[in-house]
Chain A
Amino acid sequence: MDIRFRDAEPSEEERAAVDAVLGPPASGWEGGARSAADLRFAARSEPRRDLLLPALHAVNDRVGWISEGALDYVCRRLTVPPAEAYGVATFYSLFSLSPRPKRVLHVCTDLACQAKGGQRLRDQVEQRLGPPGGSWQESPCLGLCERAPAALALEAGRPPRAEVYAPADADEMARTPADAVAGAPSPDGGGPHLDVPGDAPAVAAVPQAGQDGLVLLRRAGRVDPGSLDDYRATGGYLALRRAFELGPAGVIREVLDSGLVGRGGAAFPTGRKWDATARQPDHPHYLVCNADESEPGTFKDRVLMENDPYALVEAMTVAAYATGCPKGYLYLRGEYPRAAARLRHAIATARARGLLGTDILGKGFSFDIELRLGAGAYLCGEETAIFNSIEGYRGEPRSKPPFPVEKGLFGKPTVVNNVETLVNVLPILERGAPVYAEAEPKLFCVSGAVERPGVYELTFGATLRELLELAGTTGTPRAVLLGGAAGAFVTDLDIPLTFEGTRNAGATLGSGVVLVLDDTVDLKRLILRIAAFFRDESCGQCVPCRVGTVRQEEALHRLSRRVSHEDLLLLREVGRTMRDASICGLGQTAWNAVESAIDRLGVYE
Chain B
Amino acid sequence: MIPLQPPRRLIDVQIDGETVRVPEGATILDACRAAGKDVPTLCYGDTLTPKNACRVCVVEVEGARTLAPACSRKAEAGMKVGTGTERARHSRKVVLELLGSSVDLSTTPRAAEWTAEYGADPARFGADAATVAQPAKVDNDLYVRDYSKCILCYKCVDACGDQWQNTFAIAVAGRGFDATISTEFDAPLTDSACVYCGNCVEVCPTGALSFRTEFDMRAEGTWDESRQSETTTVCSYCGVGCNLTLHVQDNKIVKVTSPHDNPVTKGNLCVKGRFGYGYV
Contacts from A to B (Cβ < 8 Å)? 1-4, 6, 68, 71, 81-87, 90-91, 93, 97, 377, 394, 399, 401, 535-544, 546-551, 554, 558, 566, 570, 573-574, 576-577, 579-583, 588
- B54 contacts A550, C-beta separation under 8 Å: no
Residue of B nearest to A399 (CB): B52
- A544 contacts B179, C-beta separation under 8 Å: no
C-alpha gap A551/B170 in the complex (Å): 28
- B182 contacts A580, C-beta separation under 8 Å: no
B204 within 8 A of A: no
- A547 contacts B101, C-beta separation under 8 Å: yes
- B130 contacts A87, C-beta separation under 8 Å: no
Candidates B69, B90, B178, B183; contact of A399 at CB < 8 Å: B69
- B175 contacts A86, C-beta separation under 8 Å: no
- A543 contacts B168, C-beta separation under 8 Å: no
B176 within 8 A of A: yes
- B95 contacts A81, C-beta separation under 8 Å: no
- B91 contacts A546, C-beta separation under 8 Å: no
C-alpha gap A6/B130 in the complex (Å): 34
- B184 contacts A85, C-beta separation under 8 Å: yes
- B53 contacts A542, C-beta separation under 8 Å: yes
Residue of B nearest to A579 (CB): B66
| Chain B contact surface mostly | loop
Q: Knowing A81-B193, A570-B124 touch, does A547 contact B171 (C-beta < 8 A)?
A: no
* Chain A CB within 10 A, most for which of B102, B168, B177, B184: B184
Interface pairs (29), CB distance under 8 Å: A2-B167, A83-B168, A83-B170, A83-B183, A84-B171, A86-B182, A91-B174, A377-B175, A399-B69, A535-B177, A538-B175, A540-B178, A542-B52, A542-B54, A543-B54, A544-B94, A546-B152, A546-B179, A548-B94, A550-B102, A550-B177, A554-B128, A570-B124, A570-B125, A573-B94, A576-B91, A577-B90, A581-B91, A581-B95
C-alpha gap A554/B166 in the complex (Å): 40
- A577 contacts B94, C-beta separation under 8 Å: yes
Contacts from B to A (Cβ < 8 Å)? 51-56, 58, 66-67, 69, 72-74, 87, 90-91, 94-95, 98-99, 101-102, 124-126, 128-130, 151-152, 161, 166-179, 182-185, 187, 191-193
C-alpha gap A307/B98 in the complex (Å): 46
Q: Knowing A84-B171, A91-B175, A540-B152 touch, does A554 contact B98 (C-beta < 8 A)?
A: no
Q: Closest Cβ of chain B: how far from A564's Cβ, in Å?
A: 11
Candidates B69, B129, B182, B191; contact of A87 at CB < 8 Å: B182
- A537 contacts B176, C-beta separation under 8 Å: yes
Q: Closest Cβ of chain B: how far from A138's Cβ, in Å?
A: 15
Measured between beta carbons, the chain A residues less than 8 angstroms from B171 are 81, 83-84, 86-87
- A577 contacts B95, C-beta separation under 8 Å: yes
C-alpha gap A131/B166 in the complex (Å): 42
